[in-house]
């Protein structure tokens, strides 16, 4: 149960942080392009890469705190960071075909899914 609580607390902070970063970015750069989403996805990916190395090779923290940061905080800040890390692992392992197919299929399937959901809701 402690793990779930850690994820929930981290998730709450991640969601609020996402809103703050995104809205601040839109305020700064305008709303003519999805700058806020691009910013949280890029920043989340940067933080994911940094924390994965830091927490696995440099410092030791409790499992719950790790879950709060990586699953809770970054999971609600952006799931794109996990997607980027998964692809990076395959690239580093030399599985370029798997990595490229994962990237292409993730983007393609997500676009198809959001389109289907959009039209399904419009015709509901």
pTM for the model: 0.77
Mean pLDDT for back-to-back runs of 10 residues, the chain (124 residues): 94 97 96 90 89 88 94 90 88 95 92 87 81
> How many C-beta neighbours within 10 Å does residue 55 have?
15
Give me the residue spans of the domains in the chain.
2-77
pLDDT of residue 85: 87
Nearest CA to 55 out of 47, 92, 83, 76 is that of 47
């Amino acid at each position: 149960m402690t793990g779930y609580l850690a994820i929930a607390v981290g998730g709450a902070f991640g969601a609020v942080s996402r809103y703050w970063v995104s809205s601040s970015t839109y305020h700064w750069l305008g709303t003519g392009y999805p700058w806020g989403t691009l910013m949280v996805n890029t920043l989340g990916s940067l933080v994911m890469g940094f924390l994965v190395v830091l927490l696995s090779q440099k410092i030791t923290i409790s499992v719950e705190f790790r879950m709060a940061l990586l699953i809770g905080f970054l999971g609600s800040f952006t799931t794109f960071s996990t997607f980027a890390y998964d692809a990076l692992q395959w690239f580093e392992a030399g599985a370029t075909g798997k990595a490229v197919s994962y990237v292409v299929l993730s983007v393609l399937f997500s676009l198809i899914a959001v389109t289907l959901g959009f039209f399904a809701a419009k015709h509901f």
